[in-house]
Structure 1
């Protein structure tokens, strides 16, 4: 089977694609892959590092305001479709899967016009422009949130969950804790703002350090590479309590997550998939800087079911952050109820489900 995967722009589109590829490799040994992305996107580095064949096309996203740049984008889209058709024909693709980002637009559209079975995977509760556009042309649509289904043709939608969720299962939480210097004996909260960090979260944590030092739980605080030096300067002024471990980045996040009791994080789709798969309660601080405010809507999909609490960035203070953590981590009943609710929302076999959708499409084409 010859499979083309396309997704880019952010890790939230790329890591689910890689998780799916690994699942397909387990299920189908003779599968061949080609990943189509952009040369300037994160995918060009991340995917090639995984030794997956990679080709690039040139495409940019639409501006939401009227702009001459959108005229250029239409031209790039049409050229991207022509380039994609050429690549797909040369590769002799059996199926094409888009996991999000504007690069999927011309790739998946080209595949549909060539009669190649197509799937899009929507990670968020509110779809982006690209997937809304492609939904008219693809054969199948995989979603991670029930809330997303209403934006698409019902007969095409399957609830699969996020393939990334499957990859955090079976990790050694004890090893994860020890790898970052955490104690095995006391409750632990992980605080992070994504791979690049988030300044408002960092500011709230710095203001909370003294209070954290007086608590009977421990804090693993990930600043993001871009903010680490700045945070360290602030920490030197206020002091670093023994029960607060500060890191710029964590490379073995699935392993570390497996040993965590509570997480404070943004509400990106991949993060939420990992947390629900493991049954980790969360305090979610949605980024207000994303399209359609989709992170807040992602977060509400968890909070409405008791798996998370929401703390909006505009309401975030050091005092409120500590209060929310204390309320959950220092009350076993609350913590256990949230764990149960999170697990009920998790879809641990997400990668397998998406693989099944793909396999069924290919079988239908071959009949």
Structure 2
């Protein structure tokens, strides 16, 4: 049987890549020839190439919502990226292009449309990023994580499915996680995740109240690259890591509560794992405000508590944790009753069945 080719694109952050990897892992490679188009130096290049997936680099300009002289330079980079993407797509002749957004996806989608190649896009956040705002007009099908996002896209080609979750993240062992961390069953496990670069204010608030927190919790602190505090090495009930990879599934299986940023992929993974969360979203000074809206939605649905970074102190963090701990069972029950569908299975099915 002749294989069909599918091209994935998306990059700029891990959040634009890991959902693509989740889908790639579920596709039957006896039926699909999988390729990836990304930027020359983005995080997607490293994440994809180490999985031995053929990777094609193109130029990519940053998409800005504000006036900047760099916009002129980046416009030419986007044009060049479109030309390069068109050349790659003409050679690969894919049956479908799947995009998770990010700057690099726009030239790929424009090129695919010019060649008549069907295009699927998925938007993770409550409000669409600029890349997907541009890409929607060229797309064949649009999928979203949130019901609230539907209004930003043409209704006839938009389907709400949730966020595609890596299946390996659901297969962790709590016993292995506690053993690796040298934790016991006596106290609940609290995991703190501030993103790949960490979050200084979250790190400082946790460490400033560590003496109090370790009375009630065993703490796993994923503090971000370069953010380890050597003075805290060996503190009983506290384990800090810059980041973890293969061990993450086991750590999350052992986790009772989590403090997290408001990125869509992460919070949907915690929802799937039924881990109640305190979401401390990026501020509007740091982002376009999408994490604030994600956090608000999850709080309204009874999956999380939202704590604004501007309000974050050692006192407010401890108070939020006490509230979450007291109502933990209620949050777990709300998560278990969630009607969020299996986005990964739906996307794989849609890709396999698309003619």
Query: Given the two structures, how large is their TM-score scaled by the length of structure 2?
Result: 0.94
Q: Deviations over 1:140-165 (max 9, x none)?
A: 00111111111100111112222225
Deviation at 1:69, TM superposition (A): 1.5
Partner residue, 2:21? 18
Match of 2:237 among 239, 243, 256: 243
Which has the higher mean CA deviation after the structures are superposed, 341-350 or 12-21? 341-350
The alpha carbon displacement at 1:348 in A equals 6.2
| Equivalent in the alignment of 2:119 | 118
- What CA distance in whole angstroms lies between the structure 2 residues aligned with 1:343 and 1:70? 46
How many Å apart are 1:93 and its aligned residue?
A: 0.5
* 1:290 Cα deviation from its structure 2 partner: 4.5
Matched, 1:135 2:133: no
Higher-RCO chain (CA-CA 8 Å, sequence separation at least 6): 1
Q: Stretches of 4+ moved more than 4 A in 1?
A: none
Give the Cα separation in 2 of the matches to 1:276 and 1:9: 24
RMSD: 1.7
Q: Which residue of the partner structure matches residue 225 of structure 2?
A: 225
Residue 210 of structure 1 and its aligned partner are, at CA, apart by: 1.5
TM score, norm. by length of structure 1:
0.91
Q: Contact between 2:85 and 2:111, CA under 8 Å: does it hold in 1?
A: yes
CA offset digits 1:195-222 (Å, max 9, x no partner):
221100011011111212332x322122
| Distance in 2, Cα, partners of 1:291 & 1:154 | 27
Per-residue CA distance 1:301-354 (angstroms, 9 max, x = gap): 11001110011100001111112112222x2xx111101222344746221111
The SS at the match of 1:322 is helix
Structure 1 segments unaligned to the other structure (5+ residues): none
Query: After superposition, where does 1:178-327 map in structure 2 within 5 Å?
Result: 178-215=179-216, 217-228=217-228, 231-233=229-231, 235=232, 241-251=235-245, 252-288=247-283, 289-327=285-323
User: Per-residue deviation at 1:241?
Assistant: 4.5
Of Structure 1 and Structure 2, which has the larger fraction of its residues in helix? 1
Structure 2 distance, partners of 1:127, 1:255, is 32
Q: Contact (CA 8 Å) 1:188, 1:262: kept in 2 or not?
A: yes
Q: Which residue of 2 aligns with 1:169?
A: 170
Give the count of matched residue pairs.
Answer: 350
